[in-house]
Chains A and B, each alone.
Chain A
Amino acid sequence: MQELLPNVKWNKVWEATVETIYMTSISVVATFVLGIILGLLLFLTSKGNIYENKIIHAIVAATVNIFRSIPFIILIILLIPFTKVIVGSMIGENAALPALIIGAAPFYARMVEIALREIDKGVIEAAKAMGAKTSTIIWKVLLPESMPALVSGITVTAIALVGYTAMAGFVGAGGLGNLAFLEGYQRFQYDYTFITTIFILIIVFLIQFAGDYVTSKIDKR
């Protein structure tokens, strides 16, 4: 092992892995919540729905589309002033979080909207006919009925987020991307680049596996 990877210091790799997992987990959770809120807003205000409202729908849709279109690496730079206010620093794993969440939530919000639109209109109508409140319809019909799609959507988003954390690493946030950049790229230690790739792949596979497993468990269609 030592011969194959002469420069690798395992405690550094491990530390970076933990940082990557930390950044990914926090941003996935926040993206999940924010994306569902935005997705619900998009869905409920769309034409023919419970809170049909052209203006709100147009505003949310435009915001989502704009943030979804900005390349992530540019978004990080754009958000520097904002991040400084919120996190207080541009270095370290927390510094990446605002950009990660703002980059991923609109992406996920669209998936949520699509998932909600796939729900059979008749089921929503049946709930209304039973006298359900809108909040009941959201919690007991919309979210449970779209859950498999919401989970597979967050799986895809989480994998994208692992990639984003690596990019964020190039501009100062910690994690495996940062390690690959500092040790692998800048100091020409190819074994670092290789080992960080392997670790990122493992994380991605684990996320995919967990996502698929949960989706298949909850999908009763």
Chain B
Amino acid sequence: MIKLKQVTKTYETNDSLVKAVQKVDLSIAAGEIFGIIGYSGAGKSTLIRLLNGLETPTHGTITVAERNMNEISGRELRKARQEIGMIFQHFNLLWSRTVQENISFPLEIAGLSKKERLNIVNELIKLVGLEGREKSYPSQLSGGQKQRVGIARALANKPKVLLCDEATSALDPQTTDSILDLLVDINQKLGLTIVLITHEMHVIRKICHRVAVMEDGKIVEQGKVFDVFQNPQQSMTKKFVNQVIEAESSSEMIGNLLNQYPKGKIIRLTFIGDTAEMPLITNVIRKFDVSFNILQGKVSQTHGGAVGTMFVHVDGETEQVEQSIKYIRQQKVKVEVLTDARITS
């Protein structure tokens, strides 16, 4: 659906050249939810704006839905853009128009009659769950509702691709979740390809199939979300993965735990994949004569399995404790025993 070959975008400012995107190769399949993550200034927005021709590449070719975005212009480019929906961090709604009129706007651009427009708008309002708010103005809506209008508007011309530039970054966690659910919903219902950029790993974790990590205009790592979580290669990727699966594990915190529990052992379990859902703890307590005390932990679902870490205090006869740890290792759970402020496995 989307193919980028050696795409580079350089901005010329008064005194310097900014290489916002450098030699990016990317291939996104139809129906995929593809995430691009990176810190501020990594070039994510530039990359996504290249996809609908809001920016033109300095080098390279960009194909979206069989169209060569870097070659077309004028009427053809406008036509292509109608087939690529886009939603924004700050929603970018027309405040002078009602919800209904905002969603209708892309249909006016496409030249549909009033009656056709109304039918589609009503359908979309249902799809995004804004029934009853048709006549409201954006200023009368919450952030989450505004983004729903943004999504409905982006879907109006039945696009093949939906681009999301930090679509949830201005929303609170709960609203973020509801918007992400909506995106998954339309991805499944409409078979839409979604490209999503964000600086929050939990957004990637929650809905993306594949992810690319961007740093200084380059894609440093990409792959299936679950694989990247399981085995991050680059330090940048590790940082992002830790945002989600790491329970707080500063040496100070570990030191505190060790002081608090001088007896027994404190272990850190790292779950990857199906094991996280296994009733591991119950099994351990049944099989061995140990007490098993969860101190803190964080387990998250990704598309393809769960990942997470957990700190546990295991106490009992030394022999039993050793046995239980051995058992857990056999369950393909990574176990690290904490001795001092460091970790040994």
Contact = CB atoms under 8 A, between A and B. Distances in A.
Nearest to B90: A122
Contacts of B78: 131-133
B86 A129 contact: yes
A218 B96 contact: yes
Given A131-B78, A144-B94, A125 B54 contact: yes
B39 interface: no
Contact of A221 (B77, B81, B90, B95): B95
Contacts of B108: 136, 140
A120 interface: yes
B97 interface: yes
Contacts of B52: 129
A140 B102 CA distance: 11
A147 interface: yes
A132 B53 CA distance: 13
B95 A145 contact: yes
Nearest to A143: B96
A126 interface: yes
A220 B88 contact: no
Contacts of A202: none
Nearest to A120: B92
B137 A220 contact: yes
Contact of A130 (B95, B96, B105, B138): B105
B109 interface: yes
B344 interface: no
Interface string A132-157: 11001000110011010000000000
A220 B92 contact: no
Given A122-B88, A131-B78, A145 B109 contact: no
Contacts of A133: 78, 109
A132 B94 CA distance: 14
A126 B84 CA distance: 12
B195 interface: no
Nearest to A126: B92
A126 B86 contact: yes
Given A130-B81, A221-B139, A125 B92 contact: yes
A136 to B, nearest CB: 6
A128 B56 CA distance: 14
Interface in B65-105: 77-82, 84, 86, 88, 90, 92-97, 105
Given A140-B108, A220-B137, A131 B81 contact: yes
B118 to A, nearest CB: 17
B92 A128 contact: no
Contact of B94 (A123, A128, A218): A123
Contact of B139 (A130, A132, A145, A220): A220
Given A140-B108, A145-B95, A220-B137, A131 B88 contact: no
A131 B79 contact: yes
B97 A144 contact: yes
B106 interface: yes
A132 B109 CA distance: 6
A141 B109 CA distance: 12
Contacts of A132: 78, 109
A141 B82 contact: no
B93 A128 contact: no
A140 B105 contact: yes
A133 B110 CA distance: 10
B90 A141 contact: no
Contact of B95 (A126, A131, A220): A220
Contacts of B92: 120, 122-123, 125-126
Contact of A144 (B77, B96, B137, B153): B96
A136 B88 contact: no
A147 B94 CA distance: 12
Contacts of B97: 144
Contacts of B80: 131
A145 B86 contact: no
Contacts of A147: 96
Interface of B: 52, 54, 77-82, 84, 86, 88, 90, 92-97, 105-106, 108-110, 137-139, 153, 157
Given A129-B86, A144-B96, 17 more contacts: A120-B90, A123-B92, A125-B92, A126-B86, A130-B106, A131-B106, A133-B109, A136-B108, A136-B109, A140-B108, A141-B94, A144-B97, A145-B96, A147-B96, A220-B138, A221-B95, A221-B139
3 closest A-B pairs by CB: A131-B81, A126-B92, A131-B78
